[in-house]
């Protein structure tokens, strides 16, 4: 897999890693919780963007991976007392396997049929948990209260996973694998005729995306210390991932992060005004789709380009004035 990642991107990633490591020593507990929530939002949006943006497969079932990841961790640490790092890794591996299997079943479908099929599988999984007494049915599972985690550790883990998802997107988007995915997204028949295996590529990217989402689901369970089906498998998870990705810039590396920052900030600012929160987010989404389909990333690039043009125009005018 050939990589063409500029050194400036690695410098930015290193800078973010340093901030994530150092921040908990300066932030109060409440802001650590807010930081954890932002990393979850950004990480989930970046994970979905791998499938929905880069691969162009508009999946609506990523809530399932959040729920499966959360329940997997809850069961492992409650019943078997498996070490927490291993439990989280198992949740990611299980979700990756489920995502690859669902891709093999559904990815021959086109457009809305694929989207609805993934959503149906998510709803079926939630229903299966609801009717399973061994999984706590509607009451869910309460995790042990003596787990060796606190807000600082959760901040670091969520930050590391979010940064890992960004790095994975950066590498994939600039590799031959990513270029092949984009070719399949743009014209699957033409890509297949050029020697690309669309089904294999889609299964692989679904596994990566689903596995990453499952990891975030696992640490959500550790933070809440309880899981129940209606919140763990809620379609709101998938809707939020999609909204953040579209607002930030579908198919870009940093777009979902920018979208998550905006949407999450609005959620916190309008926390006590849920209706206004939804209204403002919906208006922003509509404006982005109508005026800047490429999202905040496209908007920022457009502003920078225009500023550059004005700067060059002013410089040319000054040079002309000096010449006269």
Question: Collapsing DSSP states into helix, strand and coil, what is residue 137?
Answer: helix
Element (H, E) at 6: none
Q: Tell me the DSSP string of 149-163.
A: --HHHHHHHHHHHHH
Element (H, E) at 142: strand 141-142
Cα separation, 301 vs 244, in Å, equals 18
Per-residue pLDDT of the chain (324 residues; tens, 9 = 90+): 555 566 778 888 999 999 999 999 999 999 999 999 999 999 999 999 999 999 998 999 999 999 999 999 999 998 777 899 999 999 999 999 999 999 888 877 877 888 899 999 999 999 999 999 999 999 999 999 888 899 999 999 999 999 999 999 999 998 999 999 999 888 888 888 888 888 899 999 999 999 999 999 999 999 999 999 999 999 999 999 999 999 999 999 999 999 999 999 998 988 777 778 888 888 999 999 888 888 999 888 888 878 777 766 766 666 666 655
Helices (H), 107-148: 112-130
CB 252 within 8 A of CB 96: no
What number of other Cβ atoms are within 10 A of residue 128's Cβ? 12
Token duo for residue 163: 């940064």
**Whole-prediction pTM value?**
0.92
CB 261 within 8 A of CB 162: no
If we measure between CA atoms, which residue out of 137, 152, 126 comes closest to residue 65? 126
Structural domains in the chain, CATH included, are 7-291 (1.10.3470)
CB 112 within 8 A of CB 223: no
Helices (H), 133-252: 151-173, 176-186, 188-193, 198-224, 229-232, 235-248
């Amino acid at each position: 897999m050939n990589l063409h990642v500029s050194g400036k991107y690695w410098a930015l990633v290193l800078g973010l890693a340093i901030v994530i490591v150092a921040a908990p020593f300066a932030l109060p507990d409440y802001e650590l919780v807010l930081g954890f929530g932002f990393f979850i939002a950004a990480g989930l949006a970046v994970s979905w963007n791998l499938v929905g943006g880069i691969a162009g497969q508009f999946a609506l079932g990523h809530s399932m991976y959040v729920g499966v990841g959360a329940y997997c961790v809850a069961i492992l640490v409650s019943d078997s007392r498996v070490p927490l790092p291993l439990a989280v890794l198992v949740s990611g591996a299980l979700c990756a396997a489920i995502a690859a299997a669902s891709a093999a079943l559904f990815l021959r479908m086109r457009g809305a049929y694929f989207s609805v099929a993934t959503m149906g599988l998510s709803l079926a999984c939630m229903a299966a948990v609801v009717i399973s007494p061994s999984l706590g049915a509607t009451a869910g599972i309460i995790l042990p209260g003596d787990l060796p985690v606190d807000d600082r550790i959760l901040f670091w883990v969520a930050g590391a996973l979010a940064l890992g998802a960004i790095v994975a997107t950066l590498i994939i988007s600039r590799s031959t694998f990513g270029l092949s995915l984009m070719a399949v997204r743009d014209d699957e028949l033409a890509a297949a005729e050029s020697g690309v295996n669309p089904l294999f590529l889609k299964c692989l990217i679904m596994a990566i995306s689903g596995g990453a989402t499952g990891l975030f689901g696992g640490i959500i369970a550790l933070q809440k210390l309880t899981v129940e089906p209606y919140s763990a498998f809620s379609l709101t998870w998938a809707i939020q991932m999609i909204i953040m990705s579209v607002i930030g810039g579908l198919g870009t590396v940093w777009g979902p992060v920018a979208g998550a920052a905006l949407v999450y900030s609005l959620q916190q600012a309008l926390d006590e005004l849920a209706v206004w929160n939804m209204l403002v987010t919906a208006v922003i989404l509509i404006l982005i789709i109508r005026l800047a389909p490429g999202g905040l990333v496209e908007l920022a690039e457009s502003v920078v380009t225009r500023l550059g043009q004005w700067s060059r125009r002013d410089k040319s005018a000054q040079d002309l004035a000096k010449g006269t």
